Amino acid sequence: MKSAALTLVDPTGEDLVKEPHAGPRPVSADAASAGDGAEAAEREGRERMENLLRVVLLPAVTFALVLLGWTVMQKTLVPAFPDVPAVWNKAVEVFSDPFYVYGPNDMGIAWQVMYSLGRVLAGFGAAMAVGIPVGFLIGSSKTFERAWLPLINILRPVSPLAWLPIGLLIFRAVDPSAIFVIFITSIWPMILNTAAGVKAIPQDYLNVARVLNFNRREMVTRIYIPSTLPYMLTGMQLSLSTAWMVIVAAEMLTGGIGIGFYIWDEWNNLSVPSIIVAIVIIGGVGIALEAVMNAVRRRYDYTMQEG
């Protein structure tokens, strides 16, 4: 069971280097441009209804079908599985007091999530601090690239969890080890995307900078960093979503407070409803992290501000 839980998580995606899309986005035709006011308003209302149907109704149907299938399966094939009401009751119980603290190893679900998020942010931040400068070096120096890329290519496909024992050996404590695993998870996309971004700086921008006699510092702050920023943000987004996946597995192994160990603990308690509730919470937090990164990119990525 333990090994099965580990193989479920493969955090290393193939396309670590994702180019930020350039070019203007298609602009939808203005709905009110044709026809007179009343007709346009009516059409607008109808379109809004259709949108509502698409955005709310279709997913609702899917959810309903899944719940139905779950219920049917539970009643017929796997009676050991909790039914929908059992999970619902568990969710109500979990969410009714998310901030309780009964002891160092017994805290509410909100604390569990926050401890996990804290580890993710610590590892992610450390990876930023190291990965972005290293990415700049690899992107701007052929020598540095030749020297370091083979090593990175060997280490990159390794599941970050393989580093957990190394972390335990080095730090002799579980918390820094979990952070270390997140650091390893996050650093490869940051290095590779930053390097790709530096390499993609058009010669024209550099020529502009040279005509203006920019010194090294101005070159970095005025050209290199802003030009590379979309790539860095792509790398950060990839890192963050993968890190959130990896932390669950890492915490299952390290124990302590955290959503990953919460799942493992509930499995040992044979409380499957709690596990299902935790899965939904993990998904929700993942969506929230993605939304935060999207907001950051909309704010700072000039390729997303076109049109």
Which residues sit at the interface with another protein, rule CB under 8 A?
24, 202, 204-205, 207-208, 210-214, 218, 222-223, 226-227, 229, 302-303, 305-307
Cα 235 from Cα 232, distance rounded (Å) = 5
Per-residue exposure over 78-113, b if at least 16 CB sit within 10 Å of its own CB, e if not: eeeebeeeebeebbeebeeeeeeeeeeeebbbebbb
Identify whether the C-beta of residue 264 lies closer than 8 Å to the C-beta of residue 112: no
Of 24 and 103, nearer to another protein (C-beta) is 24
Cα 237 from Cα 130, distance rounded (Å) = 16
Of 33 and 213, nearer to another protein (C-beta) is 213
Chain centre distance of CA 79: 34
Of 2 and 25, nearer to another protein (C-beta) is 25
- Min separation Cβ 29 and another protein, Å: 19
- Min separation Cβ 306 and another protein, Å: 4
Cα 47 from Cα 263, distance rounded (Å) = 43
Cα 3 from Cα 221, distance rounded (Å) = 47
Of 23 and 103, nearer to another protein (C-beta) is 23
CA distance to 61, 93, 263, 278, per residue, from 98 (Å): 30, 9, 15, 12
- Min separation Cβ 234 and another protein, Å: 15
- Min separation Cβ 198 and another protein, Å: 15
Identify whether the C-beta of residue 256 lies closer than 8 Å to the C-beta of residue 105: yes
Cα 84 from Cα 210, distance rounded (Å) = 66
- What number of other Cβ atoms are within 10 A of residue 143's Cβ? 9
Of 26 and 307, nearer to another protein (C-beta) is 307
Of 82 and 197, nearer to another protein (C-beta) is 197
Cα 238 from Cα 16, distance rounded (Å) = 7
Of 77 and 211, nearer to another protein (C-beta) is 211
- Min separation Cβ 126 and another protein, Å: 27
- Min separation Cβ 128 and another protein, Å: 20
- Min separation Cβ 146 and another protein, Å: 17
